[in-house]
Structure 1
Amino acid sequence: MKGIFEFIEKYFFIVILVAVAISLAYPNSFKWVLSEYNGINVINLLLSIVLFTMGTTLKVDDFINVFKNPKEITVGISAQYVIMPLMAFTLASAFSLDTALTAGLILVGTVPGGTASDVITFLAKGDVALSVSLTAVSTVISPILTPIITLLLIGNQIQFNPVDMFISIIEIVIVPIILGLILNYKFPNFCEKLKVYLPTASSIVICLIVAGVIGANKQAILTSSGIILIVIVLQYFLAMLIGFGIGYLAGMGRKQIITVAIELAFQNSGLSTSLAKTHFPNLSQATVPGALYSVLQNFAGSILAYAFRKYQSSR
C-alpha cells in the first residue's frame, strides 16, 4: 500500500492527466463531485479534506517562523495578494474573457498559495520552512483578503456577497486546518505516521475535483477554451518569473528566490474552483480556470522541480 501511495505522489502529473482523459471520455464518471448531498456541496467537502490534511502537518512553530523571516514573508505575501490578483485582472481584460471565465480567473489570482507548493519546493531543494510559512499565512488571512480583493476587481461586473464568501472560506479552509492542528498537537506521533500518506490523499482529492469540473464542462472546454488555455499558461509562467524577479530584487538567497517563485505560481486552484461553484452558480464556466490551472501547475511544476533541483546541484 505504501508503495502505491509513493508512486502516486511521485508521478502525480501522470495521474492527473489520466483523470482528465477519463473525464473527457466519460464526462458523467465524476458528475457526483459537483453534486450536493443533504445540502452539502461535495466539492467543498473534498477540499476541506485537503485542508484538514494540511493542518495535520502544521505546528505552531510554522507560524513563529514568520517572525524569523520577516522580509521573505512580507515580500511573498504582498506579491500573493497584490501581484497575482492584478495579473489575473490584467490578463482577463487583455484577452477580453467573458464574465464567467473572468470570474474564475480572478479567483485563481485571489486565493492563497496551494499546498502543492510545499512538495514542489522540497523536490526543488528550496526553503521548505519558508514555503510552509508562506502557505500557512496566506491561507489563514484568505477569508478576509480573497473576498475583498475579488469584490474590488469584479464587484461592478458580477453580483456576489463577499460576507458569504468569507464564511465559505472559514468553513472550507480555516475550520479544517484548525482541526488538523489540534489533531497534530494532541497526537503528534500519529500525525507523523500519517505524513507518508497525506500528500497522496490530497493529490487524489484534487484529481477528483479537476476531473469533475472538466467532465461537467467538456463541451465548453473543447469548443471555446483555446484562449483560456493561453491565459492560464501565461498566468502560471508569469507568476514564476515575477517570483524570481521580486526575490532577486529583495536580495534573497537562491533557495528563497526559488521558493517565492514556486509559491506565487502554485495557487490553491481547488479553493478557487469551489468558491466559483458556490458563489457563481449561474456561471458554470467560472469553475474552468481553476481546474485547468490545477492540471497545468501540477504537470509543469513536477518538471520545473526537476530542473530547479539540477540547477541547485550544479552550484
Structure 2
Amino acid sequence: MKRIFKFIEKYFFIIVLLAVVISLIYPNAFLWVLGNFNGINILNLLLGIVLFTMGTTLKLGDFVNVFKNPKEITVGISAQYVIMPIIAFLLARVFSLNDALTVGLILVGTVPGGTASDVITFLSKGDVALSVSLTAVSTVISPILTPLITLLLIGNQINFNPVDMFISIIEIVIIPIILGILLNYRFPDFCEKLKDYLPGISSIVICLIVAGVIGVNKQAILTSSAIIIIVIVLQYFLAMFIGFGVGYLAGMDKKQIITVAIELAFQNSGLSTGLAKTHFPNLSQATVPGALYSVWQNLAGSILAYVFRRYL
C-alpha cells in the first residue's frame, strides 16, 4: 500500500494530466465534486482534508522558525501577498479578461501558498524548513489578507462579502489545520507513520478537485483556453522570476532564493477554486483559473525541480 501512495506522489503531475483528459472526455463523472452531500459542500470538504493532512505534519514548535528567521519570513510573506496579487491584477487588465476569469485569476493571486511547494522545494534541494514556515504562516493569516486584498482589487467592480469569505477560510483552512496539529500533538507516533501516505492522499484529492472543476466548465475552458492558459503560464513564470529577484536582493543564500521563488509561484489553487465557487456562484468561469493553475504549477514545478537540482 505504501508503494502505491509513493507512486502517486512521485508521478503526481502525470496523474493530474490524466485527470484532466478523463474529465474532458467524461465530464459528468466528476460533477459530484462540486455538489453537496447532506448540505455539506463536497469541494470545501476535500480542501479541508488536504489542509488537515498538512496540519498533521506540523507542530507548534515549527512556528518558532518565524522568530528565528524574521527576515526570510517577512520577505517571503510580503512577496506572497503583494507581488502575486499585483501580477494577477495586471495580467487580467492587460489581457482584458471578463469578470469571471478576472475574479478567478485574482483569487489565485490572493490565496496563500500551496502545500505542493514544500514537496517541490525538497526535490529542488531548497530550504524545506523555510518553505514549510512560509506555507504555514501565509495560510494562518489568509483569513484576513485574502478577503481584504481581493476586496481592494475587485471590490469596486464585482460585489462580494469579504466577511463571508473570512468565515469560509476559517472553516476550510484554519479549523482543519488546528485539528491536524492537535492530532499530531496527541498521537505523534501515529502521525509520523501517516507521513508516508499523506502526500499521496493530498495528490488524489487535488486531482479530484481539478477534474471536477474542469468537468463542470468543459465548454468554458474549450472556448477560452488559449487566452487563459497563456495568462496562467505568464503568472507562474513571472512569480518564479520575481521570486528569484526578491530573494537575491534580500541577500539570501542559494537555497533560500530557490525556496522563495517556488513559494511565490505555488499557490493554494484548490482554495481559490473553492472560494470562487462559494462566493461568486453567478460567475461559473471563476473556478477555471484555479483548476488550470493547479495543473500547470505541478507540471512545470516538477520539471523545474529537476533543473534546479541538476544545475543550481
Bin for the TM-score computed over the shorter chain = over 0.9
- 1:134 is matched with 134
- Partners of 2:28 and 2:52 lie apart in 1 by 28
Q: Indicate the SS of the match to 2:282.
A: coil
- Partners of 2:283 and 2:36 lie apart in 1 by 17
- Partners of 1:107 and 1:224 lie apart in 2 by 18
Per-residue deviation, 1:38: 1.9
- Partners of 1:106 and 1:225 lie apart in 2 by 17
- 2:222 is matched with 222
Per-residue deviation, 1:283: 0.3
1:136-285 superposed matches below 5 A: 136-285=136-285
- 1:41 is matched with 41
Runs of 4+ in 1 over 3 A off after TM superposition: none
1:14-163 superposed matches below 5 A: 14-163=14-163
Q: Indicate the SS of the match to 2:113.
A: coil
Per-residue deviation, 1:166: 0.2
Per-residue deviation, 1:277: 0.4
Per-residue deviation, 1:223: 1.4
- Partners of 2:30 and 2:93 lie apart in 1 by 32
Per-residue deviation, 1:61: 1.9
Q: Deviations over 1:164-220 (max 9, x none)?
A: 000000000000000000000011110000000000000000000000000111111
Per-residue deviation, 1:62: 1.5
- Partners of 2:299 and 2:231 lie apart in 1 by 16
Per-residue deviation, 1:235: 0.2
- Partners of 1:283 and 1:38 lie apart in 2 by 24
- Partners of 1:46 and 1:3 lie apart in 2 by 23
- Partners of 2:162 and 2:306 lie apart in 1 by 39
Q: Indicate the SS of the match to 2:252.
A: coil
Q: Deviations over 1:36-64 (max 9, x none)?
A: 11221100000000000000001112210
Letter of the 1:61 partner, please give it. G
- Partners of 2:90 and 2:39 lie apart in 1 by 36
Q: Indicate the SS of the match to 1:267.
A: coil
- Partners of 1:127 and 1:142 lie apart in 2 by 22
Q: Deviations over 1:52-87 (max 9, x none)?
A: 000000111221001111111000000000000011
- Partners of 1:255 and 1:14 lie apart in 2 by 27
Letter of the 2:36 partner, please give it. E
How many corresponding residue pairs? 312
Per-residue deviation, 1:259: 0.2
Letter of the 1:29 partner, please give it. A
What are the ranges of 5 or more consecutive residues in structure 1 without an aligned counterpart?
none
Q: Indicate the SS of the match to 1:225.
A: helix
Bigger shift: residues 253-262 or 38-47: 38-47
Per-residue deviation, 1:157: 1.0
Per-residue deviation, 1:224: 1.7
- 1:307 is matched with 307
Per-residue deviation, 1:311: 2.0
- 2:293 is matched with 293
Per-residue deviation, 1:228: 0.6
Q: Deviations over 1:231-253 (max 9, x none)?
A: 00000000000000000000000
- Partners of 1:179 and 1:132 lie apart in 2 by 18
User: TM-score when scaled to structure 2?
Assistant: 0.99
CA RMSD of aligned residues (A): 0.6
Letter of the 1:241 partner, please give it. F
Q: Calculate percent identity across the aligned residue pairs.
A: 84
- Partners of 1:62 and 1:257 lie apart in 2 by 20
